[in-house]
Amino acid sequence: MHYHFFGAPPGKKAGIQRCPALMKDRVRYDKLRRMVEEAEKSGVSSSLKNSTISTKPKAIVVKANPIASAFNVMERDMVDLKVMKGLCANGIPFNVLRNPQFCEMVTATNNAPKRYKAPSYEKERTILLDGCKRDVKKHLAPVKDTLYTQGVSIVSDGWSNVKHRPLINVIAVNSNAMAEYLLKLLKK
């Protein structure tokens, strides 16, 4: 039931579709989530012991000797320098370091199998780009479904990049959520 109402926890597959009624009604979703969290805290039911809403991963404390930690500082500085070189060499702004997707990428790379190599240019621009597009469409589906019933406000902003090419950002907002759309998606 948890997976149906709240989705699978990070790193697990649900195997069941999320409740479409709750996905459209954020107020009901938040109310149900609060009720479940309160029930977990009070211990009302023994079936809530394995619930995934209010449980947080426990931190593992590892004590290291000063020499080992000194070497880790040097290794971290070397990695930081390589990240900096990569950003500068490709003209990527430093704000990307604040981006949650960038942080997820770094975490995924840290947890990747040994000898992991980045995907090839061909794989990125074909298979992975299509998968990313499908994922974005899936996350935008609840917002797109409510556009006809609740309406939408469109806000746009423009600026130019380093090469003085125009960039246009379009955001569609309604009472349920905010999502960035490409103009192509809005035309459909």
| 129 shares its domain with 148 | yes
Residue 140 lies in a domain: yes
| 129 shares its domain with 96 | no
| 39 shares its domain with 72 | no
What is the per-residue pLDDT for 175? 64
pLDDT at 184 over 50: no
Residue 59 lies in a domain: no
pLDDT at 5 over 70: no
CB atoms within 10 A of CB 145: 14
What is the per-residue pLDDT for 14? 67
Lowest mean pLDDT segment, chosen from 63-72, 90-99, 128-137, 142-151 = 63-72
What is the distance between the alpha carbons of residues 152 and 57, in angstroms, rounded to a whole number?
39
Over residues 59-111, the pLDDT tens digits come to 555 566 677 666 778 888 888 999 999 999 999 999 999 998 999 999 999 89
pTM for the structure as a whole = 0.44
160 CB-contact burial (10 Å; exposed 0-12 / middle 13-18 / buried 19+): exposed
DSSP letter assigned to residue 61: P
What does pLDDT average to over the chain?
Answer: 76
pLDDT band at 183; cut points 50, 70, 90: very low
| 172 shares its domain with 142 | yes
Q: Nearest-5° angle of CA 120, CA 122, CA 123?
A: 65
Side-by-side strand order, sheet with 166-173: 153-160, 166-173, 178-180
Range of the domain at 8: 2-50
What's the structural domain count of the chain? 3
